[in-house]
Amino acid sequence: VGERVGRVGLFHVRSPAAPPALQGQREIGWTFAEAHWGKGYATEAARAAIAHAFDVLALPVLYSQTSESNVASTRMMQRLGFTFRPELGYDDPDYPPQDNPTTVWSLDAPHA
C-alpha cells in the first residue's frame, strides 16, 4: 500500500478577496507532507501540471499564490520560472495575519 506524499493541482482563483484581474484565472497549487519536503517530488509534479496547463489546456498564463512566510513555495515558484506580480498581491481574510499578504506569481505559456 502506497503512502500519500502530497498533491499538485490546477484550480481557479476563487477568493473574493483576490483582485478582479485575478478572479477566475487558473492557478497551480501544491501541498506535501513535511516528511517528503526537499526531495524534488513537488517540483517534478508541478512541472507535469504546468506542461498539462500549457500543452493540453492551452492556457496563456498560469498563476500561483503563497505568502512571504512560505519560503519553500516561494523558492519553488522561482525555480519553476514564475515571475513575482506585486500589483496582484492582496490580504486574504481566510488566512491568519502571519500568512498575509498573499503573494501572486505568474508564468506565461512558452512561445511556439
Which CATH number does the domain housing residue 32 bear? 3.40.630.30
Q: Classify the C-alpha dihedral 61-46-15-106 as positive or negative.
A: negative
* Region 66-88 average pLDDT: 94
Q: What is the pTM of this model?
A: 0.91
The phi, psi pair for 62, rounded to 5°, reads: -130, 140
Element (H, E) at 108: strand 102-108
Residue pLDDT, tens place only, 3-53: 788 899 999 999 999 999 999 999 999 988 888 888 888 999 999 999 999
* Any domain includes 1: no
Geometric angle at alpha carbon 24, from 80 and 76, rounded to 5°:
15
* Any domain includes 73: yes
- Look at residue 112 in the predicted model and tell me its pLDDT: 53
Helix, strand, or coil here: 67? strand
- Look at residue 35 in the predicted model and tell me its pLDDT: 82
